[in-house]
Amino acid sequence: MLDLFNGEAPWLEPLAPGAGILRRFAFADAPTLLEQIDEIARRAPFRHMVTPGGYTMSVAMTNCGALGWTTDAGGYRYAPVDPLTGAPWPAIPASFLALCHRAAQALDYGDFHPDACLINRYETGARLSLHQDKDESDLRAPIVSVSLGVAAVFQFGGLRRSDPLRRVLLEHGDVVVWGGPSRLFYHGILPLKPLSHPLTGTLRYNLTFRQAAKAN
Ligand code: SIN
Ligand code: FE2
């Protein structure tokens, strides 16, 4: 499926079974996506969440969608209401959904209906340690991840934490999709280097689209 040299989709870079990188796929949409992130953050501000173990995350997070991923001393969960504001998370903008559908389709995940979009904001030095995305109730749906701004090193491993890691640079506009056999593969982001991007300054943003609730 993920043949880089088939002459049809040279921007599709295989990563693992069921996973690939769509290089620059979101490049043209990026200015709009960034404006919409600002709009969402006005209503659901970025915050540094605390893990169940008491560690304050270096990545600042917010969400849009019917459900939003949160963590606190009580654990990780998807919640319909922003615990910071007491209001529902802002809706996923149509432009986000359109991009996400196109990306999922490019990797043959034809029927992806995300109800949650986690928005990560990385400052210099921020990182996301190796983890699995496993808080979603339906693991048949893929994950679609959009990178904006400063480039970062993405680590992508296997089903066990100790599996060998591939390291790939994710640049502005790159979209990673993983699902099927790689849906539960460990992944993370190395500390962000002190670099600058014309659209985001020293920041990196990442959108991850998930289907968090069980599909009907
Ligand atoms: C994530 O694992 O949720 C985000 C990965 C990234 O920031 O690229
Ligand atoms: Fe993740």
pLDDT digits (tens, 9 = 90+) for 135-160: 998 899 999 999 999 999 999 999 99
State pTM to two decimals.
0.94
Angle between helices 30-43 and 94-106 (to 10 degrees): 130
Cα 216 to ligand 1 centre (Å): 27
Per-residue pLDDT, 104? 97
Q: CB of 145 closer than 6 A to ligand 1? A: yes
Cα 9 to ligand 1 centre (Å): 24
Q: Which CATH architecture has domain 11-210?
A: Sandwich (2.60)
CB atoms inside a 10 Å sphere around CB 90: 20
Cα 202 to ligand 2 centre (Å): 22
Q: CB of 63 closer than 6 A to ligand 1? A: no
User: What atom of ligand 1 comes closest to residue 122's alpha carbon?
Assistant: 7
Q: CB of 175 closer than 6 A to ligand 1? A: no
Domain assignments of the chain as residue spans, ordered by start: 11-210
Measure Cα distances from 5 to 9, 11, 24 in Å: 8, 10, 17
Q: Count the helices and strands in the chain (H runs, E runs).
A: 2, 13
Non-local (6+) Cβ contacts of 4 within 8 A are 10, 12, 13, 14
Cα 85 to ligand 2 centre (Å): 24
Return d(Cα 133, Cα 208) in angstroms, integer: 10
Please say if the pLDDT value at position 5 is more than 50: no
User: What atom of ligand 1 comes closest to residue 154's alpha carbon?
Assistant: 8
The residue whose two tokens read 């790689």 is: 182
Residue 121, CB-side half-sphere exposure with 13 Å CA sphere: 18
